[in-house]
Amino acid sequence: MLIDMRKVEQLIELWFDEDSNYFDLTTKIMVDDDAVATFGMNAREDIVLSGLPMVELIFKKLDPGCTFEALFKDGDRVPAGTTFANVSGNAQALLTAERVALNLIQRMSGIAGLTAEYVKEIDGTGAFLVDTRKTTPGLRMLEKYAVFCGGGRNHRLGLDNGIMLKDNHIAVAGSIAAAVARAKANAPILTKIEVECDRIEQVKEALEAGADVIMLDNMTNDAMRECVKWVAGRVPLECSGGVRLETIRGKAETGVDFVSVGRITQSAACVDIGLDDI
């Protein structure tokens, strides 16, 4: 996944404004201005790494001359007890940046690790795991990048990335056919149109209307198998709604092309990573 590092730098400004405001009071009192230090970033549990380029930017925001050495790369599995990066530079700057850096990489690596678990569950089914817009406000780009690091694929990055006609859009338009027709008449020519369906009758209507992708929302596995058989590969099918780690394989085995999971970003726990003096 491509990342706009200019936007990351803008976010870093906000994170430092939130955490240190005018200055880091403790560090300013306890550490000399010219003191230098070297710290290692250590995995305290098994992790799938995500966020290293962003962490380097965080440290270099406060000490542009610091040295950041990545010993692994994003997407790598790092065993517990392993040092995956070292940073050396002005001690005040590194200590002030510590919590911002750890908060981010712990969150992103948690998402990457949970994503990898879901991807493993559907291995061999032919279905792809995709994320949703259920992300932390302000962190969507980075959380979706973390999904990519864990082996998942990205759905829409935002509302302007594609047209998804959900039940309320269809209700306002009057029917699936009317909603798709209106979307086709007004959308940019390369924009795909996805239609949310919860019954096979709606799937048939969406296909006949010219939908590019059809979402099977909260359907049973039997109903999805019927839809897969009827659509017969004419358009991609996405399974969505209430997918859990223990249920995803059965859903993927119905023959759908994509399984979207909000939990990989919405419910992932942060992993334990430390910044320790060397």
Active site residues: 99, 134, 166, 196, 217
* HSE-up (13 A, CA, CB side) for residue 80: 5
β-partners of residue 275 are 41
The set of residues, in sequence order, having a beta carbon less than 8 Å from that of 158 and lying 6+ positions away, is 133, 140
The set of residues, in sequence order, having a beta carbon less than 8 Å from that of 111 and lying 6+ positions away, is 50, 143, 146, 147, 150, 264, 265, 268
Indicate the DSSP class of residue 198. S
Cβ-defined contacts of 142-145 (< 8 Å, 24+): 142/3, 142/8, 142/11, 142/51, 142/54, 142/104, 142/108, 143/107, 143/108, 143/111, 143/265, 144/1, 144/265, 145/1, 145/3, 145/50, 145/108
